[in-house]
Chain A
Amino acid sequence: MANYLLRRSWQSLILLLLVSFIGFGVLHLAPGGPLSQFVPSAGMAQEDIDRITHQMGLDRSFAVQYLEWLRLMVSGDWGNSYRDGISVLSKIASHIRPTLELMVISTVLAALIGCGIGVWGAVRRYSVMDVLSSVGAMFALSIPTFWFGLMAIYFFALELSWFPVGSRTTIGDGSVPDILYHLVLPVSVLALVETAVWAQFMRSAMLEALQQDYIRTAKAKGLSERKVIWSHAIRNALLPMITLVGLQFPILLGGALVAETVFSWPGMGRLFMDSLEYRDYPVVMGILILSAIMTMLGSLIADILYVVADPRIRVN
């Protein structure tokens, strides 16, 4: 196990290096720069732009800039935002909470509902409900998240006025009920897609579990179907589901970015979009690296949990 972990970590580091190189390359090859935003409004002259570009070191070669960035990164300094000078890490820290709220709540909801639907579908295979939920899941996976958000805003916020159009809090409020109230629409939108994924995975995991020998044995021994399903099949079917949490991470983060844009949610997605627009390279790089780290951690943790939870599997 320790060996395996070591090898995985080593591979991940190489991968991160590659990821950072790709990310840095993309950003620095892109035309335009962080100072362009000031040109139309402040009426800065070309000499001012050139001077500040030089002062910021942005006129150095790509290799020099990348190595400098990498050196600082390794020493734990992720750099400072070009926009407000705040360190990238504290900038991310101040935006990550609203995103986590969205992601965690929708995942928990989706996992609960999705697993329920999946179990039901597997047990009552080919029933009307099973077919409907499978078709529904496929449908949910095909709806553009942002459009679903727009529709939710149109019907539930604008037409019915049940929920707010966007934002995380009522200004000046920010109490828990207020945040929950603002969470309803974005969480529902995000959870819809996730629920579909969970239901599909759970259904196939459950189907597989139900075909295992010991389940047949249990049935043959005359255990009630209810008991077989609850005490044996579900427990076994849940095992592979653990990995899903880890593997779903990048998809969830992408979904959160879109949902945040539609619902004016002050999280990482908005920070990423704003930083891209202003060419705030340190922040964009920080978010890209962080999301890569979390993606890798997600799949690593999924693997470990899987091994820990199921002793039958031995890592080679």
Chain B
Amino acid sequence: MTLLTTTSSIDDSLTKPPGFWTTFRRNRLAFLGLIIISTMVLLSFIGPIFNPYDPDYIDILNTLSAPLSAGHILGTDELGRDVLARLMFGGQISLGIGLAAMALSVILGTAVGMIAGYRGGIIGAVLMRLVDAVMAFPTIFLILALALLINPGIVSTTLLIAFTSWMSVARLVEGQFRSLRNAEYAAAARTMGVSEFRIMISELLPNAFGPIIVIATLNVARAILLESYVSYLGYGIQAPIASWGNMLNNSQLYLTSAPWLAILPGLAITLTVTSFNFIGEGLRSTLEPNR
């Protein structure tokens, strides 16, 4: 299980940031990551227009044909479905789940962190112990146990991943809020009668934007990885819907006869996840040069 707990950054430049975009662009790996992600998104969402095959169409007489044969650029799977088409639609699912799970985990984590950090006291302690409790399970164990609760599918898989990824955001936001809740401008706003909620959202939260964006980017990578683990183990996205993870689920049986079924989706996952990680690290060195 890869939890991206890296502290070092690829290129911790010490120069003062002249501007976000200039600095970010200077980080070549992050820029490369951005290009790869854009390509993946284009291929997944626009690509199907140019590929004549329906990803779910079963061509029972044309199973396991090798790439570049029988009119299929990347070959067909065990049911004669076009692998390229499935990779593209699978990309929509995997990227979609990655982004959605990230968004949910950030919202949940931020909410818990804000309340815990701003309120402090018993509520804060209880919430943070809850964070500790969820973190005490190895992620994959927790996700599999939770998977028992719901019918496997796109929504449930997204929820599962989000539910196991919000804790780091919560910790971060809680820390920020705890240190800032008594800051002068917060106190000033309070005396001016601004509602607590407004203070949290418009005064304190913007201070945590930088680190949140970094964690959010890394969480996309993590969510795509988790989707692949869960679907590979059979508890995630279910056939006939393709995802990069569940395309691998069946591939082990065909390793000798059709290795491309295992190689291609894995490459797609690795490339995408690496790219998000590069971007995340690039953002970190741009937004938080001092960390």
Contact = CB atoms under 8 A, between A and B. Distances in A.
B79 interface: no
Interface in A210-263: 247, 250-251, 253-255, 257-258, 261-262
A100 interface: no
Contact of A139 (B6, B133, B263, B274): B274
Nearest to A279: B148
Interface in A153-180: 153-154, 158
Contacts of B278: 138
B144 A272 contact: yes
Contacts of B221: 142
Given A22-B133, A147-B262, A158-B255, A250 B273 contact: no
Given A19-B133, A26-B146, A197-B5, A253 B138 contact: yes
A39 interface: no
A45 interface: no
Given A135-B29, A254-B140, 14 more contacts: A27-B148, A30-B148, A131-B10, A135-B10, A138-B10, A139-B274, A147-B232, A150-B255, A197-B5, A200-B8, A204-B7, A250-B1, A291-B137, A292-B137
Contact of A141 (B2, B29, B136): B2
A288 B2 contact: no
Nearest to A206: B8
B134 interface: yes
Contacts of B136: 15, 19, 250, 291-292, 295-296
A29 B147 CA distance: 11
A251 B133 contact: no
A40 B136 CA distance: 36
B259 interface: yes
B256 A254 contact: no
Contact of A14 (B10, B129, B149): B129
Given A19-B133, A147-B266, A200-B6, A287 B1 contact: no
B165 interface: no
Interface residues of A, number: 59
A41 B69 CA distance: 42
Contacts of B110: none
Interface string A193-205: 1000100110110
A272 B140 CA distance: 11
5 contacts: A145-B2, A147-B266, A201-B7, A273-B233, A296-B136
Contacts of A284: 145
A22 B232 CA distance: 25
A153 B266 CA distance: 14
Contact of B255 (A134, A153, A258, A292): A153
Contact of B248 (A135, A138, A146, A287): A146
Interface residues of B, number: 50
A151 interface: yes
B129 A144 contact: no
A23 interface: yes
Nearest to B251: A150
B8 A204 contact: yes
B228 interface: yes
Interface string B243-276: 0010010011001100100110010011001100
Given A147-B228, A151-B263, A141 B277 contact: yes
Contact of A288 (B1, B145, B232, B281): B145
B139 interface: yes
A25 B4 CA distance: 29
B188 interface: no
Which of B1, B3, B233, B251 is most buried by chain A, counting CB atoms within 10 A of its CB? B1
Q: Lowest 5 CB-CB distances: which A-B pairs, in order?
A: A254-B1, A147-B266, A204-B8, A30-B148, A142-B273
B144 A273 contact: yes
A193 B7 contact: no
Contact of B1 (A14, A145, A247, A262): A145
B255 A251 contact: no
Contact of A150 (B140, B233, B266, B277): B266
Nearest to B144: A276
A308 interface: no
Which of B129, B134, B140 is most buried by chain A, counting CB atoms within 10 A of its CB? B140
